[in-house]
Structure 1
Amino acid sequence: MELKTYTEFKKIIKEKRLEGPIIIYGDENHLIDESIKIIYNIIKSFQEMNIVKLDGENITLDDIINACETLPFMEDKKIVHIRKAAFLNKAPGMTEDFVKNFSNYIKNLPDGIILLLTLQGSVDSTNAVFKVIKSTGYVIEYKPMRGEELQRWVLESFNKNGKVINKYELNYFIMEAGSSLEQLEREVEKVCAYASEEVITKQHIDEVVHKSIESNIFKMVDSISRKDADKAISILNALLFQKEEHLKILGMIIRQIRLMYLIRAYLDEKRSPSEINRDLKLNEFVLNNLIKQSKAYTVEGLKKLLSLCLETDYNLKNGTYSSDFYGLALETLIVELCK
Structure 2
Amino acid sequence: MKCVRKPSDWQDISVISMKIWKFFSQSTRTNTVCGRLIDMKITDYKDFAACLKSGCHLFLLYGDNDFYKRKAYQEIILSTVGKDPSDFSLLRFDDQNMDVEAIHNGCITAPFLCEKKCVCVVDLPFAQLSDKDAQLLSDTIEDLPEFTTLIFYCISDDFDIKKPKTKKIADKISKFGCEAFLSNKTQKNGTQGFVLQRVKDLGCTISRPNASRIAEKANGDFEIMDHEIEKLCAYKPGGEIESDDIDALFSLYLASTVFELTKCIFSGDYEGAFQRLNRLKMQKEEPIAVLGELSAAFL
Q: Report the counterpart of residue 130 of structure 1 in structure 2.
A: 170
Alpha carbons of structure 1 residues 2 and 238: separation in structure 2 relative to 1, 3 Å: closer
Q: Would you say the 8 A contact 2:65–2:184 is kept in 1?
A: yes
Q: TM-score, normalised to structure 1's length?
A: 0.57
In the other structure, the counterpart of 1:37 is 74
CA distance in 1, matches of 2:233, 2:285: 31
User: How much does 1:134 deviate?
Assistant: 1.4
Q: For residue 105 of structure 1, report the CA deviation from its aligned partner.
A: 2.6
Q: Which has the higher contact order (CA 8 A, sep 6+)?
A: 2
Q: Following TM superposition, by how much is the alpha carbon of 1:56 offset from its aligned partner in structure 2, in angstroms?
A: 6.6
CA gap 1:117/1:97 in 2 versus in 1, 3 angstroms: same
**Hey, what does 1:77 align to over in structure 2?**
116
The offset of 1:203, in angstroms, is 2.1
Shift of 1:18: 2.4
Separation in 2, partners of 1:175, 1:81:
35
Say whether 1:205 aligns with 2:246: yes
Q: Which amino acid aligns with 2:189?
A: E
Work out which of the residue numbers 142, 151, 174 in structure 1 matches 2:182: 142
Question: What corresponds to 1:95 in structure 2?
Answer: 130
Shift of the alpha carbon at 1:204? 1.9
The worse-fitting range, judged by mean Cα deviation, of 173-182 and 111-120 is 173-182
Q: Deviations over 1:277-325 (max 9, x none)?
A: xxxxxxxxxxxxxxxxxxxxxxxxxxxxxxxxxxxxxxxxxxxxxxxxx
In structure 2, do the counterparts of structure 1 residues 144 and 66 end up closer, same or farther at CA, with 3 Å as the change threshold? same
What percentage of residue pairs aligned between the two structures are identical?
A: 19
The residue type equivalent to 1:205 in the other structure is: I
After TM superposition, give the deviation of residue 153 of structure 1 in Å.
2.1
Listed one character per residue, the Cα deviations across residues 256-294 of structure 1 (whole Å, up to 9, x for unaligned) are: xxxxxxxxxxxxxxxxxxxxxxxxxxxxxxxxxxxxxxx
**Aligned residue number for residue 173 of structure 1:** 214
Residue among 184, 188, 195 paired with 2:229 = 188
**Displacement of 1:68:** 1.0
Which residue of structure 2 aligns with residue 117 of structure 1?
A: 152
Q: CA deviation at 1:199?
A: 2.1
> Which residues of 2 match residues 177-256 of structure 1 at below 5 A?
177-210=218-251, 239-243=287-291
Distance 1:155 1:74 in 2: 43
- Matches of 1:84 and 1:135, distance apart in 2: 21
Shift of 1:166: 1.9
Distance 1:202 1:109, change over 3 A: same
Offset at 1:37? 1.2
- The structure-2 alpha-carbon separation of the partners of 1:12 and 1:75, relative to structure 1 and needing over 3 Å to count, comes to farther
Partner of 2:143 in structure 1?
A: 108
Judge conservation of contact 1:100–1:129 (CA < 8 Å) in 2.
no
Cα separation, partners in 2 of 1:16 and 1:239, compared to 1, 3 Å: same
Q: Partners in 1 of 2:191 and 2:287 — Cα distance?
A: 25
Map residues 57-68 of structure 1 onto 2, 5 A cutoff: 57-68=96-107
Q: Matched residues in 1 for 2:47 and 2:285: separation?
A: 43
> Per the alignment, do residues 141 and 200 of structure 1 end up closer, same or farther by CA in structure 2, a change over 3 Å counting?
same
User: Aligned residue for 2:280?
Assistant: none
Q: Which structure has more helix as a fraction of its residues?
A: 1
CA gap of 1:41–1:237, structure 2 versus 1, over 3 A, is closer
| Compared CA separation, residues 237 and 27, structure 1 to 2 (3 A) | closer
Aligned partners of 1:176 and 1:211 also within 8 Å: no
Structure-2 residue corresponding to 1:256 = none
Q: Is 1:17 paired with 2:65? A: no
Structure 2: 5+ residue runs without aligned partners?
A: 1-39, 255-283, 293-299
Give 1:202 shift. 1.5
Normalised TM-score (structure 2) = 0.64
